Structure 1
Amino acid sequence: GCPMGFGELNIPSSRAFWDDCDEDECPKTEAEKLQLKYECSPEGAEWKNPKMMFILEGPNVAAFGEGTLLLNDSKKVASIPSKSSSLHYIPSKQMLIAIVEEDLATSGEICDILLSTCKPQDVITLTIKPKVDYKSENIAAVRDTITFLRSIDGTLNHIEALETPNFIAGVAAGICSWRCNEKLKSQSYIAYTDNLAMDSMAAKPILKLLNDLNIEYSNSYKPKKRDDSHLYM
């Protein structure tokens, strides 16, 4: 049998043993391919060639993204197969909006899906990260700031470039990296925040960024209050 007992590693002496094991007892199961779940047929859809694609990515960003970016004329195109992620189109702006819940296990596949699904002229990404992830020799400069911004290849001069050793990962990083290799335009922005729930104070720099990028938004989003009843016995 296969040396698969829990907690033990038994190295067989011959390759033939492994071949036998592979064939008989360890069938390879192919992981199911991730796919967009469309609201209606994508054939010939206008959204496939948008002027711009905006990607918002981060932990638990769905409620904030939907409450802030999806205005009256936005249409849901598809569910993205990663937690509560989704893809939307705003016809008046010819803009696709991808709201992506951070999930590094699926980000490579989702990146490939989005790259093969649509061909935007321009891409802007915003990655939201907890402030504790930020590394700097001058950390005191941002210690008391709830949310601050950095950029990679950003065109907004008042936002500082992201310094090493900081980096972004995930769908936003994958798409921008691919576009960079293809010599296509993209800008990446990173919001480091103390409050991932995005109350009005934490969201303020992000809403200003959207304004500076000419991306329409609603500033009426309010995070759901946590149920604190479990604190009382």
Structure 2
Amino acid sequence: MTTFGEINEPSSRTAWEDWDDVISSENYVDLHLEKTVEVPQQIDTFIILEGRYLYDCIRAHHQLEVVNASPEVNLRLYRTRKMNNYVCMIRDYNLILSSEIVELLKKYIDVSTDVIAILTKPLVEYQVSELVTKDYVIRSLATSKQSSIGLDINFPHLEQPNIITGVSAGVLSWREITDKPAVALVCYIEHPEELQIQELFNLLEKLKVIPHVEKTHRNNLLNSNLYI
């Protein structure tokens, strides 16, 4: 008698999957915004700056007013002083919490006319057939509905099989589902400690996140007088 093609379940549990013993309550984080503030009825552009590089670029030069924060995921929410834009800065967070973070921001995202997400990734993660000779590469990924903000965002489309993950990806997906415009700019960087990427600074200046580009200077270890 053959058992080929049959499903034989073991009489006892002598084997189990790795996730069988995982307790769902482990690593649970109750995400929330620190303050209860009124969400505006309309926001022109909601800007997401994801990653330590962007945080370091503008932390000493931003023209922003703090609105709220979620320290558990290193998230800060700002309002620009000169335009009806909101800026979300986030860095060093657990990717598993991306969906929960998007839920936190959804009430702001839904009332925004446009959404721009900018994130950085290591250049070694950029997969392309051609040889990359630059220190950085900027690519874009947009929703089906085109943005109406009128800014000059004409970066090449992100090629397959490259993907984006995290909060920026979640926000872009939500805007696609709700048939609203959004664009994500992915900047692949070789040496983030040394680079000052002019295209990103120009865009942040247009969005009134930073002052004039010529006044912008990144404070980091390699630009300091500290010798090791």
TM-score range, shorter chain: 0.7 to 0.9
Alignment-derived partner of residue 189 in structure 1 = 185
**Displacement, 1:33?**
1.9
Higher mean C-alpha displacement, 115-124 vs 179-188: 115-124
Alignment-derived partner of residue 139 in structure 2 = 150
**8 Å contact from structure 1 (residues 75, 89) kept in 2:** yes
Letter in 2 for 1:173: A
**8 Å contact from structure 1 (residues 51, 121) kept in 2:** yes
Q: 2:30 matched to 1:36? A: no
Alignment-derived partner of residue 157 in structure 2 = 161
Q: What secondary structure sits across from 1:180 in the alignment?
A: helix
Alignment-derived partner of residue 76 in structure 2 = 86
Measured against aligned partners, the alpha-carbon deviations of 1:33-75 in whole angstroms (never above 9, x if no partner) come to 201123xx40x354x631110101124542223235x21xx21
Alignment-derived partner of residue 134 in structure 1 = 126
Give the gaps of 5 or more residues in structure 1.
Answer: 1-10, 15-21
Q: What TM-score comes out, normalization by structure 2 length?
A: 0.73
Alignment-derived partner of residue 222 in structure 1 = 218
Measured against aligned partners, the alpha-carbon deviations of 1:108-144 in whole angstroms (never above 9, x if no partner) come to 2111110135521210111111111101001x2x32x
**Displacement, 1:97?**
0.2
Give the gaps of 5 or more residues in structure 2.
Answer: 1-9, 14-19
**Displacement, 1:221?**
2.8
Give the Cα–Cα distance (whole angstroms) in 2 for the partners of residues 222 and 53 of structure 1.
24
Alignment-derived partner of residue 97 in structure 1 = 87
Alignment-derived partner of residue 19 in structure 1 = none
Q: What secondary structure sits across from 2:59 in the alignment?
A: helix
- 1:178 equivalent among 174, 181, 203: 174
Alignment-derived partner of residue 5 in structure 1 = none
Alignment-derived partner of residue 49 in structure 1 = 42
Give the Cα–Cα distance (whole angstroms) in 2 for the partners of residues 100 and 45 of structure 1.
19
Q: 2:205 matched to 1:208? A: no
Q: Count matched residues.
A: 200
Ranges of 4+ aligned residues in structure 1 off by more than 6 Å: 227-230
Give the Cα–Cα distance (whole angstroms) in 2 for the partners of residues 228 and 116 of structure 1.
44
User: Structure 2 vs 1, CA of residues 106 and 230 (structure 1 numbering), >3 Å: closer, same or farther?
Assistant: farther
**Displacement, 1:29?**
3.5
**8 Å contact from structure 1 (residues 80, 110) kept in 2:** no
Give the Cα–Cα distance (whole angstroms) in 2 for the partners of residues 35 and 147 of structure 1.
35
**8 Å contact from structure 1 (residues 125, 189) kept in 2:** yes
**8 Å contact from structure 1 (residues 127, 191) kept in 2:** yes
User: Structure 2 vs 1, CA of residues 85 and 27 (structure 1 numbering), >3 Å: closer, same or farther?
Assistant: closer
Q: What TM-score comes out, normalization by structure 1 length?
A: 0.72
Letter in 1 for 2:97: T
Give the Cα–Cα distance (whole angstroms) in 1 for the partners of residues 23 and 159 of structure 2.
46
**Displacement, 1:77?**
0.9
User: Structure 2 vs 1, CA of residues 229 and 52 (structure 1 numbering), >3 Å: closer, same or farther?
Assistant: closer
User: Structure 2 vs 1, CA of residues 12 and 56 (structure 1 numbering), >3 Å: closer, same or farther?
Assistant: farther
